[in-house]
Amino acid sequence: MAAINRDDVAHLARLAHIEMSAEELDRMAGELAVIVDSVKSVSEAAGDDVPATSHPIPLSNVFREDVVGHTFTAEQALSGAPDSFEGRFKVPAILDED
C-alpha cells in the first residue's frame, strides 16, 4: 500500500473535478494519509477464496417491461437549470481555445 501524498491528492481532485488550493491539498493529503493508514488492514483481511459481496441482499433479474411511462415537459426538465437556451441546457465551451 502506497502512502498518499500531495501529488496524489492533486491528481484525485482533478479526476473528481474539485478545484483545490495549495493549502487544501496539503491539509487533505495529511487527513487522507491517516484515514488510508487506518483502513489498510482491510486488504489483508480476506483470502483469495472469499468472494466479493456487492449487494447485501442477493437479487437477480429485476426488470422493467418496455412500456412508456411519464415524461417531463422541457420546462420541467429545465426548471432547476443554472442556464438554458431554447429548451436546452446551456454550458460554457467544452474546449479551452487558449
Partner 1 sequence: MTELNNSELIRLSAAQLAAKLAAREVTSVEVTQAYLDRIADVDGQVNAFLHVNAEEALAVAAEVDAIRAAGGAEAEALHELAGVPIAVKDLIVTIGQPTTAGSKILEGWHSPYDATVIKKLRAAKMPILGKTNLDEFAMGSSTEHSAYGPTRNPWDLDRIPGGSGGGSAAAVAAFEAPLALGTDTGGSIRQPGAVTGTVGMKPTYGAVSRYGAIAMASSLDQIGPVSRTVLDSALLQEVIGGHDPFDSTSLTDPFDTLVAAAKTGNVTGMKIGIIKELHGEGYQAGVENRFNESLELLKEAGAEIVEVSCPNFKYALGAYYLIMPSEVSSNLAKFDGVRYGLRVLPEDGPMTIERVMAATRAAGFGDEVKRRIILGTYALSAGYYDAYYGSAQKVRTLIQRDFDAAFAQADVLISPTAPTTAFKLGEKLDDPLAMYLNDVATIPANMAGIPGLSLPGGLADEDGLPVGIQLLAPAREDARLYRVGAVLESLLEEKWGGPLLAKAPVLGSSSTIAGGSN
Partner 2 sequence: MSTDAILSFEEAMEKYDPVLGFEVHVELNTKTKMFSSAPNVFGDEPNTNVNEVDLGMPGVLPVVNKTAVESSIKIGLALNCKIAEYCRFARKNYFYPDTPKNFQTSQYDEPIAYDGYLDIELSDGTVFRVEIERAHMEEDAGKLTHMGGATGRIQGADYSLVDYNRSGVPLVEIVTKPIEGAGSRAPELAKAYVAAVREIVKNLGVSDAKMERGNVRCDANVSLRPHGRERFGIRSETKNVNSLRAVEHAVRYEIQRHAAVLDSGEPVIQETRHWHEDTRTTTSGRAKSDADDYRYFPEPDLVPVLASREWVEELRATLPEPPAARRKRLQADWGYSDLEFRDVVNAGVMDSIEETIAAGASASVARKWWMGEIVGRAKTADVDPSELGVTPETIVELNKLVEGGKINNKMAAQVLDGVLAGEGTPAEIVEKRGLAVVSDDGPLLEAIDAALAAQPDVAEKIRGGKLQAIGAIVGGVMKATRGQADAGRVRELILERLGVEG
54-93 positions binding partner 1, by CB under 8 A: 54-57, 59, 62, 64, 72, 76-77, 79-83, 89, 91-93
Count of residues interacting with partner 2 (CB under 8 A)? 37
* Distance from C-alpha of 91 to C-alpha of 37, rounded to nearest angstrom: 40
CB of 95 to partner 1, least distance (A): 7
Amino acid present at 58: P
Contact pick of 3, 35, 37, 87 for partner 2 (by CB under 8 A): 87
Angle, CA of 19, 97 and 87, to the nearest 5°: 80
How many residues bind partner 1 (CB under 8 A)? The answer is: 55
Please, are residues 9 and 32 in contact by the beta-carbon 8 Å criterion?
yes
* Binding of residue 61 to partner 2 (CB under 8 A): yes
Task: Determine the longest span between alpha carbons in the chain, in angstroms.
Answer: 57
Q: What is the DSSP letter of 21?
A: -
Instruction: Based on the shown chain and the rule CB under 8 A, indicate whether residue 39 belongs to the binding site for partner 1.
Output: yes
* Cα separation, 54 vs 73, whole angstroms: 36
Q: Which residues bind partner 2 (CB under 8 A)?
A: 11, 14-15, 17, 54-55, 58-74, 77-78, 85-95, 97
